[in-house]
Structure formats: structure tokens, C-alpha cells
Amino acid sequence: MKNIIKTARRQPWKNNRILIAVSLVLGVMVWLVFAFVNSDREERTIHNVPLQIDLTGTMASQLNLQPFFPIDMNPEDIRVSVVVSARRYDTVTWQDINARLVVENVNMAGDYSLAVQPTYARPGDEARFDILNYYIGGVTNQRVLAVAFDFERTLPFELVPTVIGDVEAPEGSHAGELMLSKKYVSITGPQRKLASIAEVRAEIEVKEPLKETAVYNNIRIVPVDAEGNPIPQFLVIEGGVNATLPVWEIAQLRSMVDFLGTPEAYYANPLRYTVSPSSVRAASANIPPDQTLRVGTIDFATLSPDDNQKSFQASELTQIAFLDGTEAFTAWVDMAGMAERTLRLPADNITLAGKTNLTARLRDVQRVTIVGPEDIVAELTPDNLAGEAVVPADANTGANALEVRVRVIQTNPEGEEEAHPTCWVYGKYTVNATLS
């Protein structure tokens, strides 16, 4: 029995209380060691790390695809914030970190959400600090970037004037259509995005009644798809589009026409005509003092007893708004007492103009229609016709059909040729000529 007790005293590690005490001491020592080693480390965020975009050796590069970022994001200005753990006394800057856009999964044209991979800029920096996390820009939960990969294209698009809001003009005035400084803009971006554009709106927003004509500079340009949804991303849109929302005076205007190629006698005694509608209710920036509206021009060369009705579209008149629904005008010229007659234009009565280093053998123009007072037209002869054939600069030798300007002439008391005061030529003509 004594021997047994003596042996137990020589093996103290078999006592449970001693083992627990030793374990606690060792645990505290280990904790103190780790606490001492890490007591000088802290988490910090390194801002303004430039984003690196390298497509070398990728499928995107082999397919010649280009990356497109949202319009408000210049890839050269994209910055990544990286959360690191480093010793308090160790300075870590953005130059110690690379932030690379992960593009290995880009294998075809399309829209992608791509992550960023922060890495150490130099080997061995793993011992200085640990990279814990990252976020893009100033948004702490943004971990991916929206990037479109495609072929770049630039296309012109016609602008659609668009006014948002109710337009109210002062009493007695009218707000006209929105007028743009440009009709087209160029848009650059991924070809798939360009193909999805249904129209491009040039937008202004009106928030209060207009007092006078309003001018808007650098207005918003909004491409939309077939459903009217904006397509704002990835597109670079030509700017510099200004707009004018006019406020015009309202008046009742009398319809009139002008004449072109008028023979001398009809300046003092114009041909009578009527226009329907005879007057219109319209608004314009320039209401003439005589309250008239010139709806179109009638060329005498298009006027004959059988061709005395002319039509003009209201839409062809600019800087005016029709408030009574007018869409077109019809003018009737009074050709009472007028007649037409067909005469031959002799080749000897035709001169050359234009490229005159060539010589020409001309032929008669067989049927030229003359219009004028019936009694005077009856007395005209081929000698009352004169023509000028125009030889174009690119004319070649040989047979040609040349435009010929025909006019009616007479001989005055002094024996000189002059334009006939009451008769004119109806239509356009050509002359067969052999040039050499």
C-alpha cells in the first residue's frame, strides 16, 4: 500500500485539476501571443484605385468586340475602393493594388455584369496587407459593372420634336410647333443598341404658361425603343441641339398667289384668279400689314387654257400655323379669251449656251405650244419663236438631246427683237443636236 501511494505522487499530470489549470495557462499564453502579433493591424479602405481593362488574349479581342460603359461612366475615370487589413504603421496606397475587370467570360456580343478582381501590385505584398473586399465608385454595395460588348457604329437619326407638359399661350396668341436647330443627330454605340432605336426624341418640358417665344439650349435627346422605353445606356449622342417654342400672333389672312415668268403686259393688268379657301385663320411670327398669305407661285410656263388649276399644300408653308384645319389651297386662273397654238421652232432661231467650244448641228423643234390672247396667238409665226440650247459641261460629241429655252418674241418699231408682252411658251422642250 505504501508503494502504491508513492507511485501516484510521482505522476502529477494524471491529476485532473492540474491538467485544467495548465490548459488555461497555455490558452491564455496563446491568446496573448496572437493578440500581440495582431494588435497593430486595422481595416482600412483604399480609394481611387484605377480600373484596368485588358482584353489581350480574350475571346472578346478575337471577335473584335469593344466594351461600352453606361453613358455617365467614363472607363478612364472609374475608380475602385478596396478594403484591406494592414499594420497601423504600414502605408498602403492605390499604387499598391491592381483592380482588373474580369472579362474572361465574355464570349459573344451582349450585355454583361462583370466583377472586379483586386490583386497585389507587387509580389510579396501579401505579407504587408490582406485584401478583404472591394466596391466600385462610392457605392458600397456595388460589386459589378454593366458593360456591353459589341461592334461600334455611328448612325444618323432624325429628331422628333417632343414637348412634355401643357403649352398655354397668351390670349390672342398661339404656341407654334417646337422648332429644332438640327433635323438629325449622330449617335455612336453598340450596333445592337442602335438597331433597337425606334425614334430619337428632342425633348423640352414646359412647366408654366408661355408669355413669349421661348428658346431652349442643349435640350435633352432621348432614344427610345418600339415600346417608347428610353435607351439611355452605352450611347454617345451628338449634342448642341437647341429648340424654339414660338408664340405667334393670330390673324385672318387673305389667300394670294405669286406668278413667275410674267409677260410684261400682265404686270399692269394681272391675270385674274381665285383661291380656295379665300382666307384662313392662322398664326405667324410675321403677319404682313396687308393681312395676306402667299400660298404658292404659278409659273406662266405651266399655265394654259386647259391647265389653269394649281394646288398647294399648306404643310409646305413654314413659320405659320393654320388654326382652322386648312390642309391645301387651290388656285384657278381666269383664262377667258386666251388660246393656245402649236408652232415649229426653226433650228436657225436657236443659239448655243454653256459649253460653247463645241459646234452643233441642230434640228427643228417641231411642236412648241404658245399661249396668249386668242386674236394675237392666231397671227404668230415660227419667226416669233427664239430658243437657247444649253450645252452641259459634261456633254460628249455625237448625238445629244439638249434643253432649249424657248421664248416668244416680236419686232418693235425700231426693228429690234424683244420679248412678246402678252404671249408665253407653255411647257419645257429639248432639241436634237449633233455635237462635234
pLDDT tens string 317-357:
988 999 999 999 999 999 999 999 999 999 999 888 876 67
Least confident of 135-139, 365-369, 371-375: 135-139
Strand partners, 25: none
Strand partners, 66: 150
Least confident of 49-58, 131-140, 417-426: 131-140
Q: What is the mean pLDDT of residues 283-296?
A: 92
Q: Are 253 and 277 in contact (CB under 8 A)?
A: no
Strand partners, 303: none
Answer left, alpha or beta for residue 153, where phi above 0 means left and psi between -120 and 50 means alpha.
beta
Surface-to-core class of residue 246, CB atoms within 10 Å of its CB (0-12 exposed, 13-18 middle, 19+ buried): buried
C-alpha cell at position 142: 456595388
Q: Are 280 and 313 in contact (CB under 8 A)?
A: no
C-alpha cell at position 392: 452641259
Per residue in 242-272, pLDDT tens? 999 999 999 999 999 999 999 999 999 999 9
For residue 25, what pLDDT band results from cuts at 50, 70 and 90? low
Looking up cell 499564453 gives 29
First to last CA, the chain: 150
Strand partners, 11: none
Q: What is the mean pLDDT of residues 47-65?
A: 89
Q: What is the mean pLDDT of residues 202-227?
A: 92
Q: Which residue has the higher pLDDT, 158 or 391?
A: 158
411-432 per-residue burial string, b: 16 or more CB within 10 A, e: under 16 = eeeeeeeeebebbbbbeebebe
Per residue in 65-108, pLDDT tens? 989 888 767 777 778 888 888 876 678 888 899 889 999 989 99
pLDDT at res. 406: 93
- The whole-angstrom separation of Cα 364 and Cα 382 is 11
Least confident of 93-97, 133-137, 275-279, 317-321: 133-137
Strand partners, 297: 258
pLDDT over 70 (residue 37): no
pLDDT at res. 5: 41
Q: What percent of the chain has pLDDT over 70?
A: 89
Q: What is the mean pLDDT of residues 218-232?
A: 90
Average pLDDT along the chain: 87
Q: What is the mean pLDDT of residues 401-414?
A: 90
Answer left, alpha or beta for residue 183, where phi above 0 means left and psi between -120 and 50 means alpha.
alpha
CA 98 to mean position of chain CA atoms: 40
Q: What is the mean pLDDT of residues 269-277?
A: 96
Residue type (1 letter), 177 = E
Q: What is the mean pLDDT of residues 212-221?
A: 93
- The whole-angstrom separation of Cα 98 and Cα 49 is 7
pLDDT at res. 15: 60
